[in-house]
Amino acid sequence: MPHALILAAALAVLAWPTNVCASKFTFSKYTGDPREWPTERESLAEEGTGYAVPVYRTWPSKPYEVLGSIRYQHPWRWWKDSTIKSAARLAKRNGGEAMVIRYGEEVGVTGSVTDAKTQGTRQRKAVTGLVIRFLSDEQIAKREAAEAEKKKQKSAYWQDWEFRHPGASFSEDARDVVVAFLANTGISPVSEEFRAKADDILQRISQRGQAGDLSGEWVCKAHVKAGGIASSTEKDYFGLAKVEQTGPNLTIISTAGNLEMTFTGSTSEKAIAGSLAIAGILSKAEGVAMDEKISLTFVVQLPNGVAQGNVAIQRVSTKKTN
């Protein structure tokens, strides 16, 4: 065989695994809202080892944005050095400046939507690579300025609200719930619409019945975690809830927000217990009920693991005057 043909055949054989390997990857573009992704003070990145972009084994120490996620066609197989190199090349082709290798898939990357009883998406523990791009100094400064302005505006609103309602008090936690609830509906905390909506909510959750009666509207936050050791989902919910009390009997029903929740039970000496339906999960729950805060916790066994969480329901309290 002529030397030229031998050389061409050898080059073809050498090139074949790389092309096949590259075709075994899938890049999923991130299309969510801009957000702050995790960072660590100390990070590890491999550079100068033939990788097209730096490869992090921990969260980076610098702020960044996520462009998407890379997965291998064999999700449970550990990535070898040659696998990482191919993934790094794909990350660079999709605009990445670095890649973060992690054990766990992002929502939407081979996750499958399930019914409410199994909580959101079923995710497999697999090696994936997050394709990231670092924020410029200008972008970081702009983000910090925007956050500072939001804090300034929110602080000014609460100071104004306390001035207009000298006989009322509202905890920092409850204030954060109101902000998060309105933010989830697309209302910016620095807008005039926020002031109007927040005023309306605070007015509604300030209403009181007879002393010791918990009936009325409350603002609510719930944290729910469901799944097993290999796979789990966590989510925060924000909204409004209506509480009805008749003697020792207590009913709580969510009325607004991204939370679907009902509770039926009883209260005695500030302790409460009953049945809770939340985010498609049915469970027994118990907690404490006070004049300005109701707390519930629950744990229940599911077919695919355990569901657990807590619910904090709060309202405006009346300040004690001398």
pLDDT for residue 130 is more than 80: yes
Quick one: DSSP state of residue 280?
T
Residue-wise pLDDT for 297-314, tens only, equals 999 988 778 889 999 999
R_g over Cα of the chain: 26
Distance between CA 175 and CA 169 in Å, rounded? 10
pLDDT for 297: 95
**Residue 216 CA: distances (Å) to CA of 23, 43, 155:** 59, 49, 27
pLDDT for 109: 41
What sign results for the dihedral spanned by CA atoms 297, 241, 116, 181? negative
Span 115-142, average pLDDT: 70
Span 35-46, average pLDDT: 81
pLDDT for residue 251 is more than 80: yes
Span 27-43, average pLDDT: 81
Beta bridge partners of 288: 271, 295
pLDDT for 76: 62
Q: Which residue in this structure is represented by tokens 């550079």?
A: 47
Least confidently predicted of 34-43, 52-61, 65-74, 265-274: 34-43
pLDDT band at residue 116 under the 50/70/90 scheme: very low
Residue-wise pLDDT for 49-91, tens only, equals 788 999 998 889 889 999 998 887 765 667 788 888 989 999 9
pTM: 0.59
Distance between CA 283 and CA 299 in Å, rounded? 7
Distance between CA 271 and CA 31 in Å, rounded? 45
pLDDT for 255: 93
pLDDT for 112: 35
In whole numbers, what is the pLDDT of the chain averaged over residues? 79
**Type of residue found at 28:** S
Q: Where are the domains of the chain?
A: 10-135, 166-322
pLDDT band at residue 228 under the 50/70/90 scheme: low
CATH fold for domain 166-322:
Lipocalin (2.40.128)
Distance between CA 297 and CA 287 in Å, rounded? 6
Distance between CA 288 and CA 273 in Å, rounded? 9
